[in-house]
Amino acid sequence: MVQGCQVPGSGYRIRCPAFGLDEGCGESRIFLAPHLSMAEGRIPSTEDRARPPENARTGYASCIVPFIRRPMPDSYIGNLDPTVGRMVPVYRLIAQNLNSVRPDVRRALSENRWTPIDRLIRRLARVGVYGIDIQLDWPGADRVALYEAFIRRLHETAPEVRPVIDWPDAAAWARLVPRCPVRPVVNSLPAHPLRPAALDVIGQFRPEVIVLCATEETTRLTPAERLELAYEAYRALRACGLEDEAIYFDAVLFPLVYRRPGADPTDTLETIRRLRYHFPRCHVLVGLANLTFRWGADERAKTVGQATFLAMAVAAGLDAVIMDPLVPVLRRVWSSAQAILRRDGGAT
């Protein structure tokens, strides 16, 4: 690995604290994958990034942050666009609206009517969602068949929107993922223990994956413990052939009413910062509505609480969120935070 070198033609110096490089040199910081040569100053290709990590101690293989100019904040996030030679943020908005606990969806299911569902999908597509989280459970119904029907309807109504299969069951993934017309997102894979059946499905069909930074036994963990679990899951998913951009780390947002050590929103913010720093090309995500669980019927108070946390989380490094994008305040905060951090006046 080249240490402290000048990248030819770039005008940037390299430093990498994780591998003992000089903290003070240069105008940028970069994580180097230890199995890649940067001697020619080239940008690692997709084939390079697909190679499995060779340094199990750090897990930094394929974690690359190219050429971030100071004074960009440490929380700046995005992917390198080789055509312009700069970082381009990639934010992903996932709608939570196709959930059988929501009154409009329950009504449509009980009446066996697709028109309200189609109307809802079109509204979500118009606000620019990347995917729609589908979480369904209906008494007496074949749950797999119900998911298949919703996935098919989603593709027919908004083919550019991805289905997010919110059902943490490897057997269900094995049946649903191959039938998705577009690449789906599965939600979610507990970081520990990593079930071989789930990894087999991921390795075979390569869906995008939301990793829950928690164990099956507990979600009350410190940010350092969540980061350790994230590394464990990252190495397994890379070994399955998944690219960094297809991995989402759920930083685990707890309801404010349950506030205690290991289950505090400030712990979530610190987890987001650490995940962003250590996995710059992966996505960092939370389910925003978790914050205001059991806040009662005051929707205005819920919206204010969620909007406040959303702005703080984006500043910390969040680049993906599961929320209700039909709430205007949340949508505006999401868009405005992106415009501020991008520094290019653009927002989605």
- pLDDT tens digits, 106-143: 999 888 899 999 999 999 999 999 999 999 988 888 99
Question: Which band of pLDDT confidence, cut at 50, 70 and 90, is reported for residue 218?
Answer: confident
Decide which of 286 and 29 is more confident: 286
* Residue 247: burial class (beta carbons within 10 Å; 0-12, 13-18, 19+): buried
Q: How far apart are CA 22 and CA 114, in angstroms?
A: 60
Decide which of 107 and 6 is more confident: 107
Q: Minimum mean pLDDT among 2-11, 115-124, 260-269: which range?
A: 2-11
User: Is the Cβ–Cβ distance between 97 and 136 less than 8 Å?
Assistant: no
How many other CB atoms are found less than 10 A from the CB of residue 85?
14
Token digits for 50? 């697909």
Q: Tell me what percent of the residues of the chain surpass a pLDDT of 70.
A: 73
Helix (H) or strand (E) holding 186: strand 185-192
Q: How far apart are CA 155 and CA 180, in angstroms?
A: 8
Q: To which CATH superfamily is domain 92-340 assigned?
A: Dihydropteroate synthase-like (3.20.20.20)
The DSSP code sequence of 304-336 is HHHHHHHHHHHHHT--EEEE-TTSHHHHHHHHH
pLDDT of residue 166: 95
Question: Which band of pLDDT confidence, cut at 50, 70 and 90, is reported for residue 148?
Answer: very high
pLDDT of residue 293: 87
pLDDT of residue 262: 74
Q: How many CA atoms lie within 13 A of 9 on its CB side?
A: 7
pLDDT of residue 217: 86
Residues 6+ apart with CB under 8 A from 268: 251, 252, 253, 254, 286, 313
**pLDDT at 251 > cutoff 70:** yes
Decide which of 338 and 275 is more confident: 275
Question: Which band of pLDDT confidence, cut at 50, 70 and 90, is reported for residue 258?
Answer: confident
Decide which of 319 and 12 is more confident: 319
User: Is the Cβ–Cβ distance between 16 and 32 less than 8 Å?
Assistant: yes
Decide which of 257 and 169 is more confident: 169
Q: How far apart are CA 276 and CA 341, in angstroms?
A: 14
The CA radius of gyration of the chain, in Å to the nearest whole number, is: 21
3-state helix, strand, coil in the chain (%, to 5): 40, 15, 45
**pLDDT at 329 > cutoff 90:** yes
Range 138-146, long-range pairs (CB < 8 A, 24+ positions)? 138/100, 138/109, 143/167, 143/172, 144/172, 144/175, 144/176
Cβ density class 114-140: b for 16+ within 10 Å, e for less: eeebbebbeebbeeebbbbbbbbeeee
pLDDT of residue 89: 56
Token digits for 248? 């989402």
pLDDT of residue 256: 87
Question: Which band of pLDDT confidence, cut at 50, 70 and 90, is reported for residue 164?
Answer: very high
Q: What average pLDDT does range 89-103 have in this prediction? A: 90
**pLDDT at 180 > cutoff 70:** yes
| Overall pTM > 0.85 | no
Nearest to 305 by CA among 316, 320, 317, 294: 294
pLDDT of residue 337: 92
Give residue limits of the domains in the chain.
1-72, 92-340
Q: What average pLDDT does range 70-98 have in this prediction? A: 57
**pLDDT at 198 > cutoff 70:** yes
pLDDT of residue 123: 96
Token digits for 302? 């819920």
Reduce the DSSP state of residue 274 to 3 states and report it. Answer: helix
